Amino acid sequence: MLKNPRCLLVILLMTKWASSKFEFTNLQCTSFDKSFDDFEYCYIRSANRSYKYLTLKVNLFKTPVTKAKLTFILYKRFNGYRPFMFNVTLDACRFLRNTDSSPIGKYFYDFFNSYSNINHSCPFNNDLIVDKIPIDFVNHRVTKVLPFPEGDYLLETHWIAYDIDRAMVKVYYTIS
């Protein structure tokens, strides 16, 4: 037992200040079928030192989309990127009818749900937009809601329509 209560207080205060920090490092958007969809924009923007965000827009050329799947693959960098924890494929139409049907799907969906127009079930009749996901919101989710260990990560998503891989979005980030 510590003989000095002030020392214990300092240690407790320091553990409150010690926390993880999330940082976007790169974003890559690829369309595999330009006649079906294409990315109008896809970028990470830094408005100032404290406000950074991710945003993208996919133009759909063959609407309505009535059959869609989404694959989430999480990689961690260990001498190259290696699969880490999640590799999940969801029937997007069924999942969006009941978002509580897959806890892992819901965890990833909650990252962009309130910043996107992808908040309804099929059919998708208009362009898909993810608008300004702020880094502080993502930081809270990966450090407080479901904490991840420090390191470099890659979240790779495949957007599949009618059983054909149509697009891929790669989000690179660091937790330090």
pLDDT in tens, 1-28: 555 555 444 544 444 444 668 888 999 9
pLDDT of residue 5: 54
pLDDT band of 59, cuts 50, 70, 90 = very high
pLDDT of residue 167: 95
pLDDT digits (tens, 9 = 90+) for 147-164: 788 899 999 999 999 999
List CB contacts of 37: < 8 A, sequence separation 6 or more. 31, 58, 59, 60, 61, 159, 166, 167
Distance CA 10, CA 101 (A): 44
21-175 falls under which CATH superfamily?
Ganglioside GM2 activator (2.70.220.10)
Look up the pTM and report it.
0.83
Q: Number of helices (H) and strands (E), helices first, in the chain?
A: 4, 8
